[in-house]
Structure 1
């Protein structure tokens, strides 16, 4: 059942990305940029999506060409640039992606404290195997 839930979430994101002509990694990038509380450099983005610098440059070029992001001068480093969302374009994708988050949150809110504790123990055990 857990695998099915994970697969459904991935399918939702993959289908959503495809609807906007994006790859799943592109969508991950947009979600990361929206969630970030600080200016995001290409290096930070590469680390988050676990791509090489060359692949990240191609990702940024593609998203910029499609109007989802833009490069801006880094206010803290004259030589650098930061990657920023273009709200008009990226906002639509991210609004649609929030629908899944809201659905998951609604399901979570219906759980008892004991259910949540059990799920957390289960997830911690899963993650321990990957460290």
Structure 2
């Protein structure tokens, strides 16, 4: 297979992985009677070895602070997390996952992770290194692209607001 065809397979495969992972997360969340973002948050907390700041959770999930607060409120009300004072900063809190209360959605996360781990079981360390390097490059490229899009949108926002104001004045 030539280089261009291989690159096409990689690109198509990556897109399909992203779509299928999103579909799977949404289905798993619905199966647990949860919002997909709540389910993703529990997965993020499960992957951490220590308490996490709300800011880190919000950044990971790409939420606004208001949406992040609502998310944490829902998870706390369900008993899945607990807010505890930050030992080094009296003004902030840390989030602790309550594994016993969240056992059902966490078990589903573990099953999903185990299935992904099985897909790499027969790959060599060199293969895994190549995959990891590629994914890290794509992640960095995506972050740069998104940042550029956000900056462009912010730069265009005042121009759009002025245009809307001018059109209202002309009515």
Does the TM-score normalized on the shorter chain lie above 0.5?
yes
RMSD: 2.3
Q: Is the 8 A contact 2:99 2:106 kept in 1?
A: no
From the two aligned structures, give the one with the greater helix fraction: 2
C-alpha separation in 2, matches of 1:125 and 1:42: 27
Are 2:92 and 1:80 equivalent residues in the alignment? yes
Q: 1:8 aligns with which of 5, 11, 20?
A: 20
Q: 1:101 aligns with which of 113, 116, 134?
A: 113
Partner of residue 122, structure 2: 110
Please state how far the C-alpha of 1:53 moved relative to its aligned partner. Answer: 1.0
Partner of residue 17, structure 1: 29
Please state how far the C-alpha of 1:110 moved relative to its aligned partner. Answer: 2.1
Structure 1: stretches of 5+ with no match in the other structure: none
Structure 1 residues 57, 111: closer, same or farther in 2, change over 3 A? same
Q: 1:57 aligns with which of 45, 69, 84?
A: 69
Task: Pick 1 or 2: higher relative contact order, CA cutoff 8 A, min separation 6.
Answer: 1
Deviates more, 1:119-128 or 1:72-81: 119-128
- Structure number with bigger Rg: 2
C-alpha separation in 2, matches of 1:75 and 1:117: 38
TM-score of the two chains, using structure 1 as the length reference? 0.81
From the two aligned structures, give the one with the greater strand fraction: 1
Q: Segments of 4+ in structure 1 off by > 6 A?
A: none
Structure 1 residues 75, 127: closer, same or farther in 2, change over 3 A? closer
Structure 1 residues 29, 106: closer, same or farther in 2, change over 3 A? same
Please state how far the C-alpha of 1:120 moved relative to its aligned partner. Answer: 4.7
Structure 2: stretches of 5+ with no match in the other structure: 1-11, 145-171
Please state how far the C-alpha of 1:12 moved relative to its aligned partner. Answer: 1.7
Q: Is the 8 A contact 1:13 1:97 kept in 2?
A: no
